[in-house]
Structures are given as C-alpha cells and as structure tokens.
Chains A and B, each alone.
Chain A
Amino acid sequence: MTLWNAVLLASIVCVALKTLGYLIPPRIFEAPAPSRIIDLLTVALLAALVAVQTLGAGQQIVVDARVPALLVAAGLLLLRAPFLAVVVAAAVVAALLRLWGWAA
C-alpha cells in the first residue's frame, strides 16, 4: 500500500467513526461496558504513545533528552499550564539539552 492510500484509508476510517455516532441508536452505548471501554481505549493508546514517543527509537529503548523534557511537561501540567506552553516547553528543554551537549 502506498502512503497516499494509507492517508486516505485512515482518514475514511476516522470520518466513518465520527459519522457512526450520529447513526446508531443511543441505547447501544448506554450499556456501561462499551462506553467504559471506549474511554479507557483513549487513555491506553495515548499513554502507550507517550511511552513510545519518549523512549522509543525505532525498535530500541533509549533514554535521551526527551525524558527530562517530558518531566518538565508533566510538572507544567500539574501546575495547570496551558496546552501550548507545555508542548513548547518540552521542545525547548530537549533542544537546549542537545545544544549544550548534556543529553543525546
């Protein structure tokens, strides 16, 4: 499959999911288990993505400038900093640590 096909297919899947909510009768998701699973699915995927984006390098696990950057981001989130500030701060920390040669 080409990257273009993948981009289009993944987009169609996501649009279909958005549409699905408007088509199905609400009572299906009034059952607690499905709505709980959908909610936890988001949590699990985001947490897994945080882990892989922070520690992964291809198939290797490495500890580099991303780890302190993420700690700073978590600290800012604890302080209820706005979204954009958190993302920018993480980038700045990682960029500076690499510039100064303190971390890979």
Chain B
Amino acid sequence: MTAHAETRRAWRDGLGVALATSAYGVSFGALSVTSGLDVWQTSVLSVLMFTGGSQFAFIGVIGAGGLAAIPAAIASAGLLGARNVAYGLRMSPVVGTGFWRRAAAAQFTIDESTAVSLAQTGLRARRVGFWVTGIGIWIGWNLSTLAGALLGDVLGDPRAYGLDAAAAAAFLALLWPRLRQRQAIAVGIAAAVVATALTPVLMPGIPVLLAAVVAIVVGWANWLAPRQAADPGAEDPQAPGGDLEGLP
C-alpha cells in the first residue's frame, strides 16, 4: 500500500468507527437523565470524562444506589478507566512529542482510537487513525449525548422503551470482544456470579467493585493462563486486531 492509500484507509476507518460509536451516545444521554443526572451533568461526563465504559458505570451505579452510592460510582468509573493507562502507554510513541499535543492526545485516548490506530500500517497512518477516531468520536459522542439527554427528559419511564435492557446489552457488547481466552471467560463468569450473589446483601455499586477482586487475584496468580504465556513476547493482551473486531 502506498503511504497515501494507508492514510486514506486510516481516515475511512476512523470516520466509520466514529459515526457508529457516536450514534450510541444517544442511549448514554437518555439513560443518564433517567438515572438521576441532569442534562448538564450528563454532558459534562461526555465532554470531560469521555470514556464510555466509565460513563455507563458511573450512571449505572448512581441509578441503582442514588447519592449514597457516589463513592462506589467514582470507584467504578476509575477502575473501568484503568485500561486507558495501558492505551496511553501504547499511543505514547505514536502521537509524538510536544506538551500540548500529548496533553490533547491523552483526552482522546479511548478503546476505539487506540484500536483504529494500531490497526493501521505505517506511523503516519497510525497517527491519522488515532486523531480522526478520537476527535471524531468526541464531537459525535457529545452531540448525541446531548440529544439523548434532552430526549430522555421527555420520554418518561425508561423501562417502557427497554432502555434498562439496552444498558445491559451495551455492557455485554463492550465485553464480548475481550472474551477470547479462557482466562478472560472464567474471570467474566466469576465476576458476574460474585456481583449477582452480593447484590442482595451490599449497597448498590459495591458488588461490582468486589467483582474486580476476581480480576486482581486471577491476574496476579495467572490461573488458567493462555498456553503461550510462558513466552512473554507471544502474549499481547491488547492485540489491536482483537480490540477492533468488537467495534461497530
């Protein structure tokens, strides 16, 4: 592929993913206002926090537990945002140098921009893929969040529209591409069981946090490790192709 064709592909991939992901911001906006946040708070989450998994976790925990669940909501958002540390590490050599450029890049570092970038060939195309996807989603996601929040305000009972099921399905769709190795599948099942079993006895939000302990224990002990794990070079936990495949 010529450099020009590579760059064009990066633009096309980035815009495609940005469009599909942005559409889904409508459901975030609608769910957020029905969870008890107002339109402004909802928009601030999309402008500032700008990382879908954490945003959904935050409103999910607030929706279930109200103001009493605020510490758990913040912790859930933070824990789900922890993977962005790994993405930042991978994007750091791609975005290049300069304080402002790197500061801006940090905010656009999310699942989608990292995945699209790493799926490109050549440094220039990877850069283009990162910025087009990141900025494209940021614009689209914020517009659709606002639209969803305004819409959610007039909808009434979100359950009548199946919005509660949509939230669960959204989490499942985010989770799906990560369920490839048996270690991840086992952690996912165990975490779901832990969270369900603890829900009747603990404050909303806490069961989800305790489910994270499963990941720490299994990850530390490396139970059910992938077979090639003995060779550190062979295991790539954030294989770019793997991430991209789950995208819309």
* Interface residues of A, Cβ cutoff 8 Å to B: 1, 3-4, 6-15, 17-22, 24, 26, 29, 32-33, 35-56, 58-61, 65-66, 69-70, 73-74, 77, 82-84, 86-96, 98-99
Contact = CB atoms under 8 A, between A and B. Distances in A.
Contacts of A58: 64, 204
B81 A52 contact: no
B107 interface: yes
By DSSP majority rule, is chain A's interface helix, strand, loop, or mixed? helix
Contacts of A83: 20-21, 24, 173, 246-248
B174 interface: yes
Contacts of B45: 7, 10-11
Interface SS majority for chain B: helix
Contacts of A15: 48-49, 106-107
B211 A44 contact: yes
Interface of B: 20-21, 23-24, 27, 36-37, 41, 44-45, 48-51, 53-54, 56-58, 60, 62, 64, 67, 70-71, 73-74, 76-92, 95, 102-103, 105-107, 109, 159-176, 178-179, 183-184, 187-196, 199-204, 207-208, 211-212, 214-216, 218-220, 222, 229, 232, 235, 237-238, 246-248
24 contacts: A11-B44, A11-B49, A14-B50, A14-B78, A15-B107, A17-B78, A21-B86, A35-B237, A37-B215, A37-B220, A40-B187, A41-B83, A42-B83, A48-B191, A48-B207, A52-B60, A58-B204, A59-B204, A60-B200, A65-B165, A77-B173, A90-B162, A93-B162, A94-B164
